[in-house]
Amino acid sequence: MTSLSYWQQGARRPQRPESLRAVRALEEILELPEESLIRLLAESGEGTSGQRSAARSYRSLVEASGVLDQLLAELDCPPDGGLHTLGHHERLRIGARRELAERESHHIVRAHRDGVDRFVAVHHGDRGAVPERMRVHALENCRTGRVRWHDDTGLLAAELLFDTRLRAGDTFLFRFGVEDGTAGVSHEYLRGFDAPGGQYALQVCFDAAALPVRCHRFAQHSAVAPRTGCQDLALSGRHRSVHLVEPRVRTGFLGIGWDWE
């Protein structure tokens, strides 16, 4: 009751887990659409701090989701690609202009049906990105197929073709990279998960000429939910990088954000 009263008066937004449970209960009592009030919390929080202003907005995530469905349809990619992720390691390089210069992904997957011979990689550039100028590099056990993009959202989808057709139960390793560097200053990177999976590791490496003053990890249950699990990350002096490791991912988002001086 206290949390809802503060929110009603405009003094404070519900943020703690128990407060958010009260908001969801209020949605049910008032027979509102699921997460409609939670979405208002997420939207009203944008721009209230450097961290939130740097984050992708709910609207941008929803728009990108709709565009992604169109790109996947153009690539004849079904909702279920036939692969289960056992491990996924991503490495980002932030350049001297503080831009997202490139991203490299190493996947370990298992096929759960016969005949799987490709994977569709998705890259979401920062605000102002020009996907037409991005380059996709097949680095190991794959080759680049069709590539589609959408300029307004900065989305790129690329087909990675395997050199074999997998049978149900087969495991496979492949690696690819995306050369970006087309947008302005980068503030965060988040990875979305549509289904539970195996281990996920994210490493962000910074150029020696552009080091952040603070880094943190975060999680987000959905595009409309507030961020949770925020934890400061120490920048490695030797490698100029930070990382997170999640032993077993759940649906939602995981990411790393950083602040510039």
**What is the rounded CA–CA span in Å between residue 57 and residue 62?**
9
Token pair in block for residue 117: 């011979």
Neighbours of 55 (CB within 10 A): 23
SS3 203: strand
For the ranges 11-15, 42-46, 119-123, 251-255, the lowest mean pLDDT is seen at 42-46
Mean pLDDT of 122-149: 96
209 torsion bin: left (phi>0), alpha (psi -120 to 50), beta (else): alpha
> Going from the N-terminus, what domains does the chain have, and what CATH number goes with each?
18-44 (no CATH), 48-259 (2.60.40)
10 pLDDT exceeds 80?
Answer: no
Q: What average pLDDT does the structure give for the chain?
A: 87
Taking only the tens place, the pLDDT of each residue in 75-92 is 998 878 899 999 999 999
Q: How far is CA 92 from CA 41, 105, 106, 193, in A?
A: 30, 9, 12, 18
Could you tell me which residue, 261 or 14, shows the higher pLDDT?
261
Give which of 130, 189, 184, 182 is closest to 156, Cα–Cα: 130
Mean pLDDT of 193-205: 95
217 pLDDT exceeds 90?
Answer: yes
Asked whether the whole model's pTM tops 0.85, one would answer no
**What is the rounded CA–CA span in Å between residue 33 and residue 211?**
43
62 pLDDT exceeds 70?
Answer: no
Mean pLDDT of 177-201: 95
| 201 Cα distance to chain centroid | 12
Torsion angle in degrees (nearest 10) through CA of 160, 166, 172, 175: -10
β-bridge partners, 89: 106, 201
Per-residue pLDDT band at 12 (split at 50, 70, 90) = low
**What is the rounded CA–CA span in Å between residue 42 and residue 218?**
15
Half-sphere exposure in the Cβ direction for 192 (13 Å, CA) = 14
For the ranges 30-34, 47-51, 237-241, 249-253, the lowest mean pLDDT is seen at 47-51
What local confidence, expressed as pLDDT, does residue 7 receive? Answer: 66
